[in-house]
Each structure stands twice: as structure tokens, then as C-alpha cells.
Structure 1
Amino acid sequence: MRSTLPAGMHGDSGWLGRIMTAAVAVGVLATARPADHWVWYVVGPDLAVFLAGTVLMTMRPRLALALLAAVAIGTSLVAGVPDSNALVLVLVSITTIVVVDLTRSGTRPIVAVGIGAALGFAVSAWWFDRSDTWYLSQLMWEAILIAFGVNRRQYEIQVRQTRELLVQTRRAQDEQARAATLEERGRIARDLHDVLAHSLGALSVQLDVAEALLDERRDVDGALERVRRSRRLAVQGLAEARNAVAALRADDVPDLPQALAALAEQHETDHAVQVHFAVSGTPSKLDSGVTVALLNAAREALTNAAKHAPGRPIDLEIRYDAGVRIVVRNAGATGGEGFGLTGMRERLALVGGTLTAGPDGDDWLVIAEVTND
């Protein structure tokens, strides 16, 4: 997993940690009084290489690893010189290697450098005639630092993975919020069509008739009656809009049979056609979203019937069985798959329902159904 830490930071080890580590190394070596002064020709350059490696940890991690490994192994070869304090440079090099950003390499660089330094201590103990106790003490310090380093590296890898997981979680949440927003926009679009298309469509028809009565027949009384009907339609549309808002807010909405009976009566009045309404089965309590979806499907079917088959009788039936089904049948071909039916089909799908529409002999049949789970 790719690290998302800021440049120059490796877990808890930033520039401050590197400066403190370098200060410890310089301070301890400054107090060294090696028995052989030539040791400074080894330790001095190694210290400079160590400082270069710490600076390059972020910019050139692989080069930094090579430099620090060379310091750790090279300095271990002269650690046997009495009072050289070379051990500290070996240990701080190993500690720094731990936090070099080579995530894919795992702990292999640390183990390899540890083995190399252990061999260097063995050579130094033999060359400078140091005791087995000295050699074991060097290995003990090295093992402690390696164990600490491996544990610290695993901790920092976990921190990086946790941060990456947090970033991915936030991205997923953003995508979910975006999907929810798009879904909400689609639902609002369907609600707008459900409410406005029926009310405004009927309102437009009434106003067209009123205009024709005034323009062609000079029938003021007839036109006035159409204007009054238009006003009732506007009031009805407002009520329907409130019902849609109530459903979105999970408020109470009218019972479906009552709402359909009122819709059938209003359609008869507005379009002067016979609407036969029937209920079969035992009515059951429905979710507000299901109620609104079915009610709007019936309204859309009535609107299409008035538009494409004006004056033809309509049968509107609600059936309760394994679920609830609304059947709208009108004489004459209605036809067409416009935005209304498409929107109804989508809306019913959201509440687990289906909508079918098509010719049935000489009639046009629309069935909106939501089955029980």
C-alpha cells in the first residue's frame, strides 16, 4: 500500500527525531578517547556519511539505506578499539535504517544490516583481541535495537495503513453521499412530474376550453365555469404537492382507497367522464412511500386517459391480495411511453413494485403492483 504521509515525515520520525539522533551520535563520539588515533580516520568519515544518509532519507531512500548500512557495518569493524565509542554510531545507523521509507522491503534491510554488523563485531573482537563478554554485549545491544526497530517499523506501517484506510473510507463515504444526492434528485424529479404534470395538464385543458368558449362562442358563463374548475384544479394540485412532501418527510398520508376514491370523483368532475371505482380484498396499512407511488401511478394513468381517449369511460380498481394492485382500464387506445410512465416505473421500483402498461383488446390497461415481501 502506497504511503500517504507527507514528504519528510515517517511516522513519528520527522526532522526533529533525526536531529536528536544525530546530536546523540555526535555528542557520544565527541567524548571518545580511542586508544589508537587512526580510528578517527574511520569514525569521522562514517559520521559524515551517517549525516548524509539521514538527510537523504526522504529524497533518496534507497541511497540513504546503502549509506547507513555501510556506516553500520564499517563502524562495527573498529568497534573493538578501546574507548572508541564506535558502538553508538552502529546503533544509531540501525535505528535510522528502521524508518527509511522502503515499505515493500519489509524488515529485510534491518535483518541484513544486523547480520552484517554482527559479523563486523566478530572480526573486530578477533582483530583487537576483545573478550567473548565484550562481543556478546555488542550483540545484545544490537539485538535490542533491532527488536525495537522491527517493532517500531511495524507500528509505523500500521499507522500508514490506517491513514490510507481512512482516506479510502472518506472517498467511499463521498461516493455514497454523491449517489444518495443523485437518487434524491431523481426522486424529486419524479415527484415534481407526478404532482405537476397531472394538475397543470388538467389545468391547461380547462383554460384552453375557457379560451375557446370566449373566442368562438362568446360563452361567458361556460368560460367562467371552466375558470372555476381551473381554480379547483390548482387547489387540488397544491394538496397533492403537500401529500408528496408529507411522504418525503414520512408524515401521515391519506389511506389509499380513500385517496383513489377522491381522485376518481375529481376526475369525473373535471373531465365529465364516468370513472367506475372498486375495491376488492381487505385493505391493509401501507408504507407512505408505497401509498404515494401507487396513488401517483393511478393519477398518471387517468391523466393519459383524459389526454389520449377523452370522454371514454374508465375503470379504476384496487385489489388487496398478496400485496396491493391498482388496475386502470379505459376504452380506446391510449398508447405512448412518455416521461410519466417511465417515472412511475422508476418510482415503483424504488418501493419494490412494478408497472405494466399496454393494449388489452380494444382497451388500454395500466397495472401498478407492490407485492408483500
Structure 2
Amino acid sequence: MLPPMSTTDPAEGEADTPRVAEARRRAAQRGHRQSARMHLALWVVMALTAGFAVPGRPRLAFTGEGLGISLALAGCLVPLSLAALDREPRSQVGTAVLPLILGVSGNALAVLRPTLLMEIPVAAAVAMLFARLRPRTALFLAAPLVMAIAVITTASAPSGISLQAGLSSVLLCVVLGASYVFSRQARLGRDRTELLLAELEDSREAEARAAAVAERARIARELHDVLAQSLSALSVQLEGARKLAERDHVDPALHRLIVRGGELTREGLSEARRAVAALRGDDVPTLDQLTALVDRCRRDLGLPIALSVTGEPRQLTAEANLALYRGAQEALTNAARYAPGSPTDVLLRYTAEGTTLTVTDHGRPAFRRADEDAAPGSADGDVANGDGTGSGPRSTSGPGEGGEAAVRVWTGGGNGLRGMRERIERVGGRTHAGPMGRGWSVRMEIPG
């Protein structure tokens, strides 16, 4: 095979982007197609050489003058067949050997058996040199072959057309050599252009990503310096108000409002901190960390959790990973808040249809309202959460004060079950939540 010249060093492709890799792949395909056309041309040259050289006299033989013709013909046909069958790139020295043998044998055959188109083997050798080697090297090796066939055709032609015969043989060699030089240069130029365009597109995307990262960092700083600081101060003030309310034995309804305001403030602060981390490009949790999440829930929230994973794990997008992880975190937090100590099952299933994460607790009826139903506006069991705080349709009764303190630390949904549903829907999934026996079940599905 004719070795297609690469536009860059092969080692440079080790860390190629997909766009650059695709450009290199198309360049390689064009090189292979050009080589295939050259191989077809070599088979045609071999047929023409044999067709013009075999007939006539003296006949091919193993003795006398016929032996010389046989050796010269073999010197033409063998390199042509080897070059047409070759599929591996060679060194420049190895690449030049076959065309030189072909050119020398073609000149010898033209001397021993002058025939019509006797310059074809030499012209093919010149074309192979220019197709396989750099133009300057090819010119240095092809010049003697062309001069030799010009002298031979001039000497063997009738006196009236000897000069024209010599010039025609030179012209044939020059045209074939030049055509292969120009075709190869055109291919390499197109390869370089596509590669440069791919690198330019990658550079533009990298520049756009850098600008987006800088803008996100600016927004993160604003959130941290303004919103997070304000929420922190508000949380401190509300905590002070709660203690004053407990000391002065204020109306229980007012006390509950102050406590709930403190919870909302802490949840908002936690959400702001996560938003700042996301904007700064910090690592976001994935399903690979689900086991660690369950372990922390067992330790910090006192939940007896059983984790099961079935099916062949698949690679999910970062958004899908984060949505499922946050959904599991929210569901486990709610289980600890509304059914403290209840056995809880976490099932992660990978199927051909998609990925499903189910969190089911077995419930504590004393902490549930008798009229616990989905909030208005939900459909097909989708989660609906009226206040967006994570309480969902469940009762506001909960565990004791110590357990509530642990849950306050863990509460991280920000927008609770509604936020869970919105996260899942943004990645094309669905969320279902509702009673299951004496307990509560949350199922998150992401297709694909």
C-alpha cells in the first residue's frame, strides 16, 4: 500500500479531541482511497506490459536472447505485483527499491524488445516514485530513468520520428509524475485544512468555556458575598429569636413560625453554598458515592438502610448523576424526619430501558396524617410539594428534638420534593411518590 503521508506526528494524536480525531480519520480514509486508485493503475500497467511484451520474436525462453527478455519482463511484473499487493507502509529506502527495479527492468525490456508503448513500465516507475517519496527525492531518482527511456525510444524509432518518440516518452513520464505530486499535495493540503479547522473549533469552544467559567466564578463570588452572608446573619438572628421565644414562653404558633423560619434559612444557606460550589466547578456527587451517602445516613440519621444495586451499571451524564444523588439524599432525609428509625430500602436498578432509584420506608403511622394525599396539581403519582420546602404531602409532626437537629444538618434538598422532581425532569426523567403500605416510596426514573 502506498503510505499516506501524515500531516502531523502520530504521537500528537494521543490526546486528540473527538473533533480532531474525526478529522484525522477522514484524512486517513482519503489516503487509503488514493492508494487504492494507484493499486488499480498498477494492475492495468502490468496487464499492458505483459500484453505488449509477450508476443513477438524472439520468444521468451530460458536461454539466449529470450532469457534476457524473460528476466527483463519478470523485473517489470514482479515489482508491479508486489507494489499492488503491498498494504504496509515502508521506509523511504524500501519504498524506492521497487520503482527503481521496475524502471531499470523497463529500460532493459525496451532495449531487448522495442514495442508500442514500451515506455509504460518506466512511466509507472516514475509515478510510483512521486507517489511514495518526497518530490525532491523522487526527482533525483526518476531523472536517470527518464533520460534512459528517452534515449532508447529515440534510438529505436524510425529516423523521421525519432525526436518525437523521445519527447513523447519524456512527456508521459513528466505528466504522470506531476499528476501524482499535485494529487498528493492537494490531499495533504485538505487534510491540514480540516485539522486546523477542527483545532480552531476546539479552541473557540475552550475559549467559550473559559469565559463561562469566569462568569460563573463572578456570580459565585456575588452569591457568597451577598446572599450567603445575609442568610448566615439571618440564621443567627432567628436562632436568637427562638431562644428568646422559649425563654418568654410566647404563643406556640409564633414559636413554630420562628423555628420554621430558621429551618428555611438554613436550607436556603445550604442551597446557596451548593450553588456556589457548582458555579465554581467543584466536583458534584454521583451515584458512585451512593454507598457513602447511605453509610452517612445510617450513622447520622439513625436509619437502618438496606442498599441494593441490580443490573449492569452504565455511564450517566453529570446532570443525571447529580439529580439521582440529590433525590436519594432528599428521600432519605424525609424518611428520617417523618418516619425516624423506620427500616428503609434503597434500590438502584439498571435496565435496558433506563436507570431507576427507589427509596422506600416502612413508616411510623403516629407521625402521619390520616388525610395524607398528594397535593393538588400532581398527576400520575408525581411528587407535588406545596411549599417547596421538602415537607411535601407529609405531616409536619416529626421525631424528637435531638433527631430533628440531626435532620436539620442533613436537610439539603433546598426545594424538597419539588426540587427533586424538577431536577429529574430536566434530564428527561420522571419522579413518582406516594404511600406504600404503612410507609412511603419515592421512585426516580431516567430513561436511556
Amino acid aligned to 1:31: G
How do 1:130-145 residues align onto structure 2 when only pairs under 5 Å count?
131-145=162-176
Gaps of 5+ in 2: 1-6, 10-23, 60-65, 273-448
**Preserved CA contact (<8 Å) 1:53 1:67:** yes
Contact 2:129–2:142 (Cα < 8 Å) also in 1: no
CA displacement at 1:128 relative to structure 2: 4.8
Matched, 1:218 2:238: no
Does 1:153 find its partner at 2:173?
Answer: no
Quote how far apart the aligned CAs of 1:115 are: 0.6
Change (3 A) 1:210 1:8: closer
- The structure 1 residue matched to 2:45, chosen from 19, 25, 37, is 25
Which residue is 2:223 aligned to?
192
Q: Which of residues 96, 109, 131 in structure 1 aligns to 2:128? A: 96
Please tell me whether residue 10 in structure 1 is matched to residue 10 in structure 2: no
- In structure 1, what is the equivalent of residue 76 of structure 2? 46
Q: In 2, Cα distance between the equivalents of 1:82 and 1:70?
A: 19
Identity of aligned residues (%): 26
Please name the residue that 2:140 is paired with: 112
Give yes or no for contact 1:53–1:65 (8 Å, CA) kept in 2: no
Query: Could you say if the C-alpha distance between residues 147 and 118 of structure 1 is closer, same or farther in structure 2, counting changes exceeding 3 Å?
Result: same
- Change over 3 Å in CA distance of 1:55–1:163 after alignment to 2: farther
Deviation at 1:160, TM superposition (A): 2.2
Q: Which runs of 5+ in 1 are unaligned?
A: 242-373
Q: SS of the residue aligned with 2:165?
A: helix
Q: CA deviation at 1:194?
A: 4.1
- Check conservation: 1:114, 1:146, Cα contact below 8 A: no
Q: What does residue range 310-321 of structure 1 map to in structure 2 within 5 Å?
A: none
| Alpha carbons 1:47, 1:89 under 8 Å: kept | no
Change (3 A) 1:178 1:97: farther
Q: 1:54, 1:2 → 2: CA distance?
A: 26
TM-aligned CA distance change 1:195 to 1:73, over 3 Å: farther
Look up the equivalent residue of 1:18 and give its one-letter code. M
Shift of residue 184 of structure 1? 4.3
Contact 1:71 1:93 in 2 (8 A): yes
Aligned residues, how many? Answer: 232
CA distance in 2, matches of 1:52, 1:28: 17
Residues 327-352 of structure 1 deviation map (CA, whole Å, 9 limit, x = unaligned): xxxxxxxxxxxxxxxxxxxxxxxxxx
Alignment of 1:186-265 (within 5 A): 186-215=217-246, 217-218=247-248, 220=250, 224=254, 227=258
Q: Any idea what SS the aligned residue of 1:13 has? A: helix
User: What is the Cα deviation at residue 204 of structure 1?
Assistant: 0.6
Structure 1 residues 36, 169: closer, same or farther in 2, change over 3 A? farther
Pairing 1:208-357 to 2, within 5 Å after superposition:
208-215=239-246, 217-218=247-248, 220=250, 224=254, 227=258
Give the Cα separation in 2 of the matches to 1:208 and 1:56.
Answer: 83
Within the candidate set 115, 137, 140, 1:83 is matched to: 115
CA deviations 1:111-168 (Å, max 9, x no partner) are 1233122222145347757633321221121122222223223212212211321332
Distance 2:86 2:28 in 1: 12
- Report the CA distance between 1:177 and its aligned residue: 4.3
Structure 2 residue identity aligned to 1:88: I
CA distance in 2: counterparts of 1:140 and 1:86, whole angstroms: 14
Residues of 2 paired with 1:149 and 1:125: CA distance?
24
* SS of equivalent to 2:99: helix
Moved more, 141-150 or 34-43: 34-43
Q: Which amino acid aligns with 2:143?
A: I
**1:28, distance to aligned residue in structure 2 (A):** 1.2
Q: Is 2:93 the partner of 1:65? A: no
Contact 1:8 1:58 in 2 (8 A): no
Answer whether contact 2:151 2:166 (CA < 8 A) is retained: no
Residues 1:187 and 1:86: Cα distance change in structure 2 (over 3 Å): farther
1:61 deviation in Å? 4.7
Using the alignment, how far apart are the partners of 2:117 and 2:87 within structure 1?
Answer: 25
Taking a change above 3 Å as real, the CA distance of residues 230 and 8 of structure 1, as seen in their structure-2 partners, is closer
Offset of residue 35 of structure 1: 4.5
Aligned residues of 1:35 and 1:83 also touching (Cα < 8 A): no
Map Cα deviations across residues 185-234 of structure 1 (whole Å, 9 max, x no partner).
4244224324531331232122121122034x32527x959949969x97
In the alignment, the residues of structure 1 paired with residue 184 and residue 156 of structure 2 have an alpha-carbon distance, to the nearest angstrom, of 34
Output the CA distance in 2 between the equivalents of 1:189 and 1:139: 74
Question: CA RMSD for the aligned pairs?
Answer: 3.9
Deviations 1:236-295 (A, max 9, x none): x99xx9xxxxxxxxxxxxxxxxxxxxxxxxxxxxxxxxxxxxxxxxxxxxxxxxxxxxxx
